[in-house]
Structure 1
Amino acid sequence: MQKFNYHSHTKRCGHAIGEDEEYVLAAIANGYTKMGFSDHAPYRNGYAPGERMHKEELDSYIESVKVLQEKYKDQIDIRIGLEFEYFEDQLVELMEYKERMDYLIIGQHGPKLFEEEFYTRNDDEAVLLYASLIEKACTKGLPDIIGHPDLFMFDKKEWTPACEEAAHRIVKAAVNADIPIEINLNGIHYGIRQIGNEKRVGYPYRKFWEVAAQYPVKVIYGLDAHKPEKYADVDAYHLVDEVLEGITLHKLEDLAFKKKL
């Protein structure tokens, strides 16, 4: 089991539960030596209850984690980050986050604020748009991790040439930016479903990771924790490893980010 996790949310986003300190205590109790909070980034005029914190909550989010950093500094290394989506009309704000936060995860969910998400909008055009937005973010030097890179397969009925192209483009973007891609451990939370002709989890999606194996791309696991108990979910590691059995990936044994805050 990986001993670091940089993908954790807080109740501020509206779809996670638990106090910040409970996540830290759960990480310590389950043997993690490094963790990071990466709640969904707020945007100007982009408040969406149930999706991301209000912009006015950002400072209290940072201060809360800083208190925990100090309180538990002898037990676990904690970093402060955000999970963002690449929206060009929010670029100035995203660049500010890049300068301010310890790290950023790109977790692209939709093409624009308040538009249908790639979970369900997954025609070939949308799949290529998903890849394009990740490429643009990487070109700008924004992400330190690419979260759930195969999310576009969550409900897609079949692996098409567009999916193959998107996978290559996303992995190449990560290699060129020298950043890891994430095997997201939250996709299995939705269970095995009939999707097209396959019975499978939404993600990780095996064919995406077969493409990743063709490149020297760095790979990490991400709990994508929306409740403290996720830190005790050892089965999640076993289940995704079963999905990806036989695929050789360059998994990192450690990952550290410089403290800025």
Structure 2
Amino acid sequence: MQLLKWDGHVHSPYCPHGTKDPLEAYIERALEQGLERISFTEHAPLPEGVTDPAPDNDSGMSFATADAYLKELTQLRETYKNQIDIRIGMEFDYWEGHVDGTRDIIARYADVLTDGILSLHYLYIDEQYYGVDFSKESFGEIVTKLGSVTAVHERYYEGIQALVMTDLGAHQPKRLGHLTLPTKFIQAYPLESNPTNLDDTLRKIRQANFTLDVNTAGLRKPLCGLSYPYPELLQVTQSLSIPLVYGSDAHLAKDVGADFDFKW
């Protein structure tokens, strides 16, 4: 278990789909929570050749916004250096079908980052990206496309296996975001059966020496009510000695450190 009081997955006012709470508000909230470290992991810009598949074109920062984000965090890290360890990071999407682009975008920011997360938000099906967590309706479109809810989960874990087994360069983040993201709409789209490749996915995560994001955001989603990964799966991760880092996935300041006391 994680001993350091650390929120390892936090967004910011630079998020294209977040709130405009200032960075100082996130940091002050972390201090109120007694945290020793906070990792800002804003959504990285999209690689060259990838057209944003989100309906609102808000999957990642622009390059100009990213520069401003890095500059402000560098200043705040110095300001708060005697109060809390501020890690400057990004959440990089793994773009199946554009692995070279994923590798390039990670390398672009390697020299200035002190943390990072790799996540899978989109499934690449028939050379088109489908957002797993955008809305209940868009998730339903994937279910129709693949034939069942279980098939969507299995396809997602195929993508996770590809992610952790792919060489994304010397600066590849080794923490995996929200492993069970397809459960975001689990109350509307319950599984017909357990995904057959989930155990193998966990073994590959362990083999590749990844740390897992214990992401509490799902506890605050009305159609989920579960952490990512969910409690039963967290117990399995411990039997495999997979390291864990708590992350709120906060997109507003009040959610920093939220639900870290949930029981599993």
Question: TM-score band, normalised by the shorter chain?
Answer: 0.7 to 0.9
Deviation at 1:183, TM superposition (A): 1.3
Q: Which of 150, 154, 178 pairs up with 1:148? A: 178
1:140 Cα deviation from its structure 2 partner? 5.0
Structure 1 distance, partners of 2:71, 2:215, is 27
Correspondence 1:158 to 2:191: yes
**Structure 1 segments unaligned to the other structure (5+ residues):** 194-199, 245-261
TM-score by length of 1: 0.76
Instruction: Using the aligned pairs only, state the percent identity.
Output: 23
| 1:1-261 matches, cutoff 5 A | 3-17=5-19, 18-43=21-46, 44=48, 46=51, 49-87=57-95, 88-90=99-101, 91-112=103-124, 115-119=129-133, 120=139, 121=142, 123-124=150-151, 125-137=154-166, 140=169, 142-155=172-185, 157-158=190-191, 160=193, 163-169=195-201, 171-191=202-222, 201=226, 203-231=228-256, 233=258, 236-239=259-262, 241=263, 244=264
Q: Deviations over 1:54-110 (max 9, x none)?
A: 122111110000110111111111111100111214122223334542122012111
Structure 2: gaps (5+ residues) = 134-138, 143-148
CA distance in 2, matches of 1:158, 1:210: 20
Show the counterpart of 2:136.
none
State the Cα distance separating 1:132 from its structure 2 match.
2.6
- Distance, in Å, in 2 between the alignment partners of 1:231 and 1:72 is 17
1:220 and 1:232 mapped to 2: Cα distance?
12
Does the aligned pair in 2 maintain the 1:190–1:202 contact within 8 Å? Answer: no
Aligned-partner residue type, residue 132 of structure 1: Q
Q: Deviations over 1:112-137 (max 9, x none)?
A: 59721234235425234332333234
Structure 1, 60-69 or 145-154: larger mean CA deviation: 145-154
Q: Which moved more, 1:148-157 or 1:137-146?
A: 137-146
- Aligned partners of 2:257, 2:240: CA distance in 1, in Å? 31
**CA apart distance, 1:178:** 2.9
Is contact 1:150–1:208 with CA below 8 Å preserved after alignment?
A: no
Contact 1:9 1:39 in 2 (8 A): yes
Note the aligned Cα RMSD (angstroms). Answer: 2.8
The change in CA–CA distance for 1:35 and 1:159 in structure 2 (over 3 A counts) is farther
Counterpart Cα distance in 2 of 1:223 and 1:2? 15
Letter in 2 for 1:118: V
In structure 2, the CA distance between the partners of 1:89 and 1:202, relative to structure 1 (3 Å rule), is same
Report the CA distance shift for 1:6/1:67 in structure 2 as closer, same or farther (over 3 A): same
| TM-score between the two structures when normalised by the length of structure 2 | 0.76
Paired with 1:205 and 1:138, the residues of 2 have a C-alpha distance of 28
